[in-house]
Amino acid sequence: MQPHFSERELADLTPAVAIINAWNRIAISARIVPGTYKAAST
């Protein structure tokens, strides 16, 4: 990965990936069906 990302970019990317992974695991455990979310109309 080093040729593609700088040290700073890797430092920023690592927690972002971890957070996305955590949210996905929460969604799986809550049995949330993808594509069913409807935003509230304003």
Please give the sequence-ordered ranges of beta strands (E in DSSP) within the chain, or none if there are none: none
Q: How many domains does the chain have?
A: 1
The mean pLDDT values, 10 residues at a time, for the chain of 42 residues are: 85 96 94 88 78
**Residue 3 pLDDT:** 86
Alpha-carbon distance 12 to 31, whole Å?
Answer: 29
Residue 8 lies in a domain: yes
Containing domain of residue 16, as a range? 1-30
pTM: 0.66
Q: Reduced to 3 states, what is the DSSP secondary structure of residue 28?
A: helix
Residue 37 lies in a domain: no
40: left (phi over 0), alpha (psi -120 to 50) or beta: beta
Residue 41 lies in a domain: no
**Residue 2 pLDDT:** 67
Residue 39 lies in a domain: no
